[in-house]
A and B are shown apart, each in its own frame.
Chain A
Amino acid sequence: MFRPWGVLDWALGLSSRRQWQFLGCLGAEERSTACLLALATRGVLKGHTLLRVDDPKSEYADVTAKCLATREAECNKAGLRLQIATRDLLSPIVTLDKICAEMTAPSVILDITSLPKRFFFYLLKHLFRCADVKDLVVTYTLPEKYPAVPLTEDHEPWDALPSFRQPDPDKEKLAHRRLIVNVGFMPDGLVSHLEGRAEERRIDLIVPFPAPVAAIRRAWQSVWALAASTPHEAIFAEHRVGAQDLSEAFDVIIALSPADTNLVSFAPFGPKPISAAMCLYSILTGSPVYYAQPKVYRPDYSLGIAKSRGEDQVLAYWIKHGAHRLFDVPIARKAL
């Protein structure tokens, strides 16, 4: 199935021009507001909400505050009167319900660039299911590079992302037979889970490729760490998917999932577009998603914004168009 995605202007240009409600994150990273600024410049912004996510107290607090002030100043300079909603990183997920309730516009852009996974998964689930939202586009801005240091610290124990546990305990057991891992930079929580003698007997690694050279190197370091910690009896396989190819990742997940139950477990530790594919599949099938939430993110989690022909590399993925869902499990599978 053709699911359009590409640079922002091209992707939005595939459909008639409309006004978009924007939901994103005011983060310390430079790229966090790139999409919002691009939409404002193009005059297609109906309204916006920026989530400011406060990490638990850390040594980076002062630097992070300065970076956030810089981002705000950049937006103000572009003439935006920022609508900011502040939430603690580990606050109960129902605290997002107020934001969800405000997302009633027919066309919504969810920018996942700097949103922590525990938030963007929940928001994407709501927007994907919400009948009022007819057009849904997910956006993601590429950074120029990542610093060669640990990007996060102090992770939480391995657990289901809020609202992404399979409700039926028996089905959850079935889902544990196969773990699909989005391989990324920070596998610590995952490694300690696997070392803790995980139940998963089949572990499929989605390795981002092609991807920037530095990212490839770090992803393969993670693969090595995971392989070394994987239980002896587990079957271990690698699958390469373009780091930004949400659509391809979704198809690979469908191909990997058992046709009888559709149930797998996910560990989204890698590139956000692949994590978004996992999120969509999970929403459709009830497959559980597990994560070890870091409590501290470096303010320089990424550096700069990737450019293409002088333009910021903001990628856009159509998820719903005219109330039609572009992501679904095959009909034949659904009947099973």
Chain B
Amino acid sequence: MTFRVGQRVRIAAREHAGHHRTPGYLKGKSGTVERVHAEFANPETRAYGGDGLPRERLYLVGFDQREVWPGYGGRAADRIYADVFEHWLEGQA
């Protein structure tokens, strides 16, 4: 599944015992696709001697800080951005 800029997505809330680049504080949180970077070798297999293929599409996803941190005391407009691979994203209506 490919996502487009502006689409709402949720970061999968799943455990993953091995190396992965998805920060725990974003799992289960919803954000918006800000940019489609490109496709890159998958670090989750490359970390174990694999070739990282097939390549995975990497997205820049933006989140409201208030949605990420309970009791966030900053400005309402504050955003946090993270690069997230496609297989960690779930589409939302």
Q: Do A and B come from one complex?
A: no
Question: Residues on A close to B: CB < 8 A?
Answer: none
